Chain A
Amino acid sequence: MITFEQLQKTYPSRGTGTPVQALADIDLTIGRGEIYGIIGRSGAGKSTLLRTVNLLEKPTSGRVLVDGVDVTALSARELREARHSIGMIFQHFNLLSSRTVFDNVALPLELAGVTKAQIRETVEPLLDLVGLTDKRDRYPAELSGGQKQRVGIARALASKPKVLLSDEATSALDPETTTQILHLLADINKRLGLTIVLITHEIAVIKEICHKVAVMENGRIIEQGPVFDVFAHPKHETTKTFVDPVINRGIPDSLRARLSPTPVAGSNIVLRITFTGERATSPVISAISRKLNLDLNIWHGQIDEIQGAPFGTLVVEAIGNPQSIEAAISLLNVNKLGVEVLGHAVPGNLRAAV
């Protein structure tokens, strides 16, 4: 549905500053009907990337294809036409304070020259969809943040777009309202088959509704893929720092203090085993322990759910002879469970002496 090809964007220097490369070598494809999340820290280039889709930001080089059409090659008039099929919602809602809820949602239709009767026919079901029928004649100043964003969503849907762009649409909302708005977006995605591209700096948003995710840093995409895979096996350090807090791959500090990166006398190896999909519920661990005569001392465990699939991590201290441990690791790998050596557990008294 959307393809970025070799996209670059450099902002010219302001005053005495140096030019800012906001996007570098972006190649990314977003499929039809997907909810695609783009996450990154502030200044990573997320907004710039999103805004190239409707050409609010003109790329320095490269192409952006939306439904097969290269938007960077359109005339001003063609671009305005193309924008009718790309809806956008914003962090600060950007509603017209001088217009009622109904008239705000009607704005894109007015701009497109739609008749009054058709406008009513389109706007009323949309207000119903976002649950604001009773606020129809209210002004934005009379609405809560969540209600304002619902107006924003209805407005973005008014021209029946194929793509919805969301620039930090929930970042100004409290957690509960955020969840409601995200569910509304997921619902719209399902019902209308709308492709949604959303950018955020909050990993919880990605976890909640996205199918796929791209991680951005310094204008580049450093990691991308299905949300489940990226969460289960983050490769890049930045991705790990995003993912760790929500899926709790970490271990408590008191245990971390007992870890040494290299073996010492009397230490036992500490493994982090990652369960994904249906394997999260199969009894592999106890089988291995029995078969190889290994004692597994469980340090920490967590079962979570990403995109409806179970996902678990278990941190264990393996006590047994080295061959058995080797065998256990390869068995875990055979069973397609993630296994990672975290370090070596130093016996309590020894550690004090080191």
Chain B
Amino acid sequence: MLSPEIYALLFKALLDTLYMVAVSGLLGTALGLPLGVLLAVTGRGELLQNLTFNRIAGVLVNMTRSTPFIILVVAIIPFTRLIAGTSIGTAAAIVPLTVAAVPFIARIVEGAVREVDRGLIEAAQSMGATPFQIIRKVLLPEAMPAIALGLTLSVVSLIGYSAMVGAVGGGGLGDLGIRYGYQRFLPEVMLAVVIVLIVLVQIVQSTGDWIARRVNKRNLKS
């Protein structure tokens, strides 16, 4: 049904998407996870209360999260150019994807960490734990099931966002779908793109669910 050239394009687009999602997902986690933990522990009455930091970080996160992604992509073009050396292409697309992923992941991690029972923090304090030890040995391990699910959600969202970065020549499956499926009116290409995306999201979600189940020791049936 599809010509070999289209297959090749589809494969290339899939790789581009995987590349963009993987890199922005990793960078987003590397920055968003610590930011999320900081947001959680600097809140009022928390382990390392620091309301000034908490408020400023909170406002920045909210600003980024309330900007529609396609506007964010365009708005930060100068920044993208500064970081990636160009504002066009797959590598450049990673910049806005990461900028969107960081606050998204940070909020998810913050929520997960806040859900950890206060009693556990207290128990660790009664053992003489430092705040850093509490984060590393108590908060992160206990929040891990929720964080795993949250990161899965983030990756799925990134797959969706990555389809929009065609606007800055980012390539990937979304771009292919728009250029071939819509603009050249090749519905079978559009269909193929959609099917690949569905399968991709399904694989990510199942893997994430599996990991979250593995790290969750709370509802064990013996």
Chain A residues close to B by CB (< 8 Å): 54, 56, 79-84, 86-88, 90, 92, 94-99, 107-108, 110-112, 138-142, 155, 159, 165
Contact = CB atoms under 8 A, between A and B. Distances in A.
Contacts of A88: 123, 126
Contact of A86 (B123, B126, B215): B126
Interface stretch (B62-70, B137-145, B201-209): B137-145
Interface of B: 117, 119-120, 122-130, 133, 137-138, 141-142, 144, 215, 217-220, 222
Closest 6 CB pairs of A and B: A83-B128, A94-B123, A80-B128, A108-B127, A94-B119, A139-B217
Given A110-B137, A111-B133, A97 B218 contact: yes
B141 A99 contact: yes
B127 A56 contact: no
A98 B117 CA distance: 13
Residue among B129, B130, B144 with max Cβ neighbours from chain A (10 Å): B129
30 contacts: A56-B122, A82-B128, A83-B126, A83-B127, A83-B128, A84-B127, A90-B119, A90-B123, A92-B117, A94-B119, A95-B123, A96-B120, A96-B138, A96-B141, A96-B142, A97-B218, A98-B215, A98-B217, A107-B137, A110-B137, A111-B128, A111-B133, A111-B137, A138-B222, A141-B218, A141-B219, A142-B220, A142-B222, A155-B127, A165-B126
Contacts of A86: 126
Given A107-B137, A111-B133, A111-B137, A141 B220 contact: yes
A63 to B, nearest CB: 20
A142 B137 CA distance: 21
Given A98-B217, A112-B128, 12 more contacts: A56-B126, A80-B129, A94-B119, A97-B142, A97-B218, A98-B142, A99-B217, A111-B129, A111-B133, A141-B217, A159-B127, A159-B128
A139 to B, nearest CB: 4
Contact of A80 (B122, B130, B141, B144): B130
A54 B220 contact: no
B124 A107 contact: yes
Residue among B127, B141, B220 with max Cβ neighbours from chain A (10 Å): B127
A56 B122 CA distance: 8
A107 to B, nearest CB: 7
A79 B130 CA distance: 11
Given A83-B128, A111-B129, A142-B220, A94 B137 contact: no
Contacts of A97: 142, 217-218
Contacts of B129: 80, 111
Contacts of A141: 217-220
A11 to B, nearest CB: 12
A99 B220 CA distance: 12
Given A97-B142, A98-B142, A92 B119 contact: yes
B122 A98 contact: no
A142 B220 CA distance: 6
B122 to A, nearest CB: 6
A147 to B, nearest CB: 12
B18 to A, nearest CB: 31
A340 B138 CA distance: 57
A82 B119 CA distance: 20
A112 B120 CA distance: 17
Nearest to B122: A56
A82 B125 CA distance: 11
A346 B219 CA distance: 64
A54 B220 CA distance: 34
